[in-house]
Amino acid sequence: MCVCVSRTQVICQKVVARELVEPRTTLPVLEYADAAGAALLRTFCLVAALRNLDLVLLEARDAFTALPTHLVSVVRHTRTHTRTHTRTHTA
């Protein structure tokens, strides 16, 4: 089964990422993107959350605790993997 994303869907995801994702909204938009199957937006939010994790937690701690368990696991796993990968390549 092929899951194809139309050009319009890609454009919409890019616009949402550019216009709506900020530290306070990153996690709620991540949750929406996950539920909607918007992979591009989901990835953008995940990267934004990890790059700005301190600020995201400061601005939206309640949003982090409200995330579905599987998304919390993804954030934790990706953060751990990113730290390990960075250490390996900077040593």
Question: Residue 2 domain-assigned?
Answer: no
The type of residue at 11 is I
Decide: pTM greater than 0.75.
yes
- What is residue 84's predicted lDDT score, i.e. its pLDDT? 55
Which is nearest to 43 in space by CA: 22, 17, 68, 81? 17
Six token digits for residue 4: 């194809």
pLDDT digits (tens, 9 = 90+) for 22-65: 999 999 999 999 999 999 999 999 999 999 989 998 988 888 88
**Please, which residues have CB within 8 angstroms of residue 91's CB and are 6 or more apart in sequence?**
none
Domain containing residue 78 = 7-90
> Is residue 1 domain-resident?
no
Between residues 60 and 69, which one has the greater pLDDT?
69
* pLDDT recorded at residue 60: 84
For the chain, percent of residues with pLDDT exceeding 90: 58
How many domains are contained in the chain?
Answer: 1
